[in-house]
Structure 1
Amino acid sequence: MRPIATDIERQFVGTLLWLPTHQARTVLAGMRADDLATPMPADVLQIVIELVAAGHDPAPVAVFSHAVITGRAPGETRRGWLGKWLADTYTACQATTPAHAQHLKAVVLEAAWRRAIAEHAARLAQAARDSATDVLAALADDTSRIDALWARYRTALDPTDANARVLKEVA
């Protein structure tokens, strides 16, 4: 396991644990748990998303309780892992700000976008060797996931610019 200080996904989730609901909601706009590649941060992010959507602060105790109540932390061992992970992450990410969380969000989304491109390229390479041309052409044209990640990444880089673009498009 990477140290918390260099684990961007864990840093991102850790910053969310310090934010009140309204600030966390703003940072979480456009995020999905599957944007994260590592299982524990992705699982915790999903719980944070659910808590914030329900109007609750994503504090570690709320995340832990929600995991237990929803059956995502079955058994003493899993609860111990989650509790230690939350405590270590929360402690390591002290003194966070919404701006810092927003920056980490952009870094996480860029990494997700790059992974999506790499996965798409691998599928294209396999299809180029083994698939019929119509299958290859359809696969080459299917960049919707990559395009969506790119758009969310660009919005995370400058959310105020994204809001201005939307207003211009509406006008």
Structure 2
Amino acid sequence: MEELVEHGKIGAWGVSNFDVDDMEELWRIPDGQHCQVNQVLYHPASRGIEFNLLPWMRSHDVALMAYCPLAQAGSLRRGLFSSPELTAVAQRHEATVPQVILAWDVRDGHTVAIPKSCTPEHARENAAAANIQLDTEDLALIDKAWPAPSRKVPLDIQ
């Protein structure tokens, strides 16, 4: 990857689904610390990375790219779209539940979410999530429904 950077073929590079052990191993190889991003599954019902991976990434200045940020695949939805908590937050912000989920995904200002968009209308709806500022009440409601992990859990990849 560094050779591609050196030859101007790419500006930067990253990895996908690397947990802390993988990131630490990457950091031990020459130029591994040049990794700019780790792409992992992340949404309110999939918060396992918050226990140790996300803090590790923040301390090493590695960006988070959230894939499936709307839990697009079957079992990943885990009741997100029909949850009373997200519905209430969406109503307060005159937004859709998917917009609230995306706003939650990027709430820290350091996360990039890459939701699927098949139509220009859908892309505009996704982009409008950037205008939603979740407050402490919103975040507490979401945390109550899907609490952050209190222990290490394997990466959620399905």
TM-score when normalising by structure 2:
0.31
Determine which structure has the larger strand proportion and give its number. 2
